[in-house]
Amino acid sequence: MFGKKNWEKRRDPRADCFQSSYFVVENETRPGTNECWINNVSVGGIGLESDRNDLQNRVIKTLYKIGSHLRQDHLRIKYAARLLSKWRYGCQFIAPDEQRTQIITSYIDKNNSTKKTL
């Protein structure tokens, strides 16, 4: 009755990460980059935190690093939630990319195997 439930609703495994990054919002009238923090990654997308509160359902282009690989991808913001003074967004990759999938899968496998051995 009070057993542990699996609340994980993600389609793909993810790896926690925390890195400073930048993004631009597609078709936005105000120019410039926005600072953010990437907080997890999966082959389906990434999570990020930002001061901006107006990104729901927008398309962004972000720069981030997976292991030693620097990536620049377009993502659609699918989820938004308030997190203290910031906003947390769940972002989905728009276009498939086999190279990105391989890089992220390898990173997740390495990250998850390191956690198991600690």
Is residue 7 situated within a structural domain? no
Is residue 117 situated within a structural domain? no
CA distance 11 to 62: 22
In Å, the largest CA–CA distance within the chain is 54
Q: What is the CATH number of the domain that holds 50?
A: 2.40.10.220
Is residue 44 situated within a structural domain? yes
Is residue 61 situated within a structural domain? yes
Output the pTM of the full model.
0.81
- 20-31 tens-digit pLDDT: 999 999 998 887
Q: How confident is the model at residue 32 (pLDDT cuts 50, 70, 90)?
A: confident
The answer to whether residue 12 scores a pLDDT higher than 80 is no
Question: Structurally, how many domains does the chain consist of?
Answer: 1
Q: Where is pLDDT greater, at 2 or 49?
A: 49
Alpha-carbon 54 to chain mean position: 17
End-to-end CA distance of the chain: 32
- 90-101 tens-digit pLDDT: 999 999 999 999
Q: Average pLDDT of 33-48?
A: 94
Domain holding 62, by residue range, is: 14-111
Is residue 101 situated within a structural domain? yes
